[in-house]
Amino acid sequence: MKYPKAYVLYANENYIDIVNACAKSIKTFSNLPVFVYLLNSDRTVWEADKTINWECDIDADETEELYIKQADSNFYVNRASKRIYRLIKERPLIVKHALKMANTVCYVDCDSIATKHIDRAFDLFNTHSFYPFFTEGIYDFLMMNGRGGAIGNDFSTTLEHPACELFNINQNNRKKYRTSNIFVAGQNCIEFLETWYWMMIHPKILAAPDYYCPFQDETIANCLLWHHNFHDGLPYSYVNTNGEIDRIEKVYNEIGFTGSVQYIAPWFKVPRQKHELLAFHGEKRIDEMNKMIEKLKKI
């Protein structure tokens, strides 16, 4: 049986409770199936409709720190880690595999909590598109470790410049920067997903992912979109939690929705409309994730 639509999540065993909470949030507000891929693990995510053991080569220096702990006990991936890159590079192939089981899939980062509008992602996607619809990012130019940004039309200092040079991609086609924490793909997107993965495993990139892909799969996805001069996608549709447990109350009860995207603070923006807020992103504390689900049920 092939489903018309489905959600796809993935994680390693370190994230199994987190991906389970994300699946729980989606199932709270959606009747669509949720597929969870666990890397090199035969454990079951009980909130998922289907758990797949995704066997892959992710070996690298096991002494590298995968995560950066914060004072609030939340944690974030270490983007400089080659081990993290090898985990994340599987994303295009996992989505491609999920498209064998569903005509259209929505990928969601596992540290996300869905709102009741999560299914709207499918409504915004053009099923005839040859390219996935990625969500609009917070910034059009990113910075990391003193690198990034642009001056006027000079894009030689952008984080994406090394990858664009490697693949002979013209950055002059760039408009909005898009993120890969939520995106929708259909049957016509298979070639894009294959090319995306092929670029991510280029030997030069595998040797120095922090230089070529400072934001990992997302960096390459943007380069490939610019190469095809493709600019459609999901609107800005998430809110980063940044470890603030009261961010849901702030967004719905204090800030509200004005019809325009609102920049509140670094890495904190609010979508234009309530129905465009599909998920809260970045929370990895299980207790807080469950509290967020309960709060969103009451809104």
**Residue 209 is encoded by which pair of tokens?**
């992912």
For residue 87, give Cα distances in angstroms to 93, 102, 150, 167. Answer: 12, 23, 29, 22
Strand partners for 3: 102
How would residue 57 be classed by pLDDT, with cut points 50, 70 and 90? confident
| The pair of three-digit structure tokens given for residue 53, joined into one six-digit string | 């053991």
pLDDT tens, position by position, 186-217: 999 999 999 999 999 999 999 999 999 999 99
The answer, yes or no, to whether residue 64 has pLDDT greater than 70, is: no
At 84, the pLDDT band (50, 70, 90 cuts) reads: confident
Give the other-Cβ count within 10 Å of 65's Cβ.
12
| Structure confidence at residue 48 (pLDDT) | 98
Strand pairing partners for 69? 75
Asked if 216 contacts 118 with a C-beta cutoff of 8 angstroms, the reply is: no
**Which pLDDT does position 58 carry in this prediction?**
73
Question: Looking at the predicted structure, is the pLDDT value of residue 107 above 70?
Answer: yes
Do residues 179 and 218 make contact, with C-beta atoms less than 8 angstroms apart? yes
Nearest CA to 218 among 186, 249, 178, 257? 178
Local structure of 107: helix, strand or coil: strand
Asked whether 119 and 33 are in contact (CB, 8 A), the reply is no
Assign 299 a pLDDT band (cuts: 50, 70, 90).
confident
What ranges do the domains of the chain cover? 3-139+177-298
Query: For 217-245, what is each residue's pLDDT tens digit?
Result: 999 999 999 999 999 999 999 999 988 88
Residue type, 198: W
* C-alpha distance from residue 164 to each of 59, 139, 148 (Å): 27, 19, 13
pLDDT at 148 over 60: yes
Question: CA 196, 110, 140, 262 torsion: positive or negative?
Answer: positive
What is the per-residue pLDDT for 67? 46
Q: How far apart are CA 145 and CA 137, in angstroms?
A: 19
Mean pLDDT in residue range 277-282: 97
Tell me what the mean pLDDT of segment 127-153 comes to: 95
Q: What's the pLDDT score for residue 182?
A: 98
What pLDDT is attached to residue 61? 45
How many angstroms from the chain centroid is the CA of residue 249?
Answer: 24
The predicted model gives 126-148 an average pLDDT of: 96
Mean pLDDT, range 255-279, rounded to an integer: 97
CA distances for 209 relative to 93, 151, 246, angstroms = 18, 24, 35
Q: Is the pLDDT of residue 154 over 70?
A: yes
Give 13's DSSP letter.
G
What gap in Å lies between CA 30 and CA 119, rounded to an integer? 7
> What beta strand segments (E) does the chain contain?
3-11, 34-39, 50-54, 67-69, 75-77, 102-108, 112-114, 133-136, 143-144, 147-148, 178-186, 238-240, 262-265, 268-270, 279-281
Q: Is 20 helix (H, G, I), strand (E, B) or coil?
A: helix
What pLDDT does 236 receive?
A: 98
d(CA 277, CA 200): 30
Phi–psi pair at 190, nearest 5 degrees: -55, -45
Model pTM above 0.95: no
CATH architecture of 3-139+177-298: Alpha-Beta Complex (3.90)
| CA 23 – CA 32 distance, rounded (Å) | 11
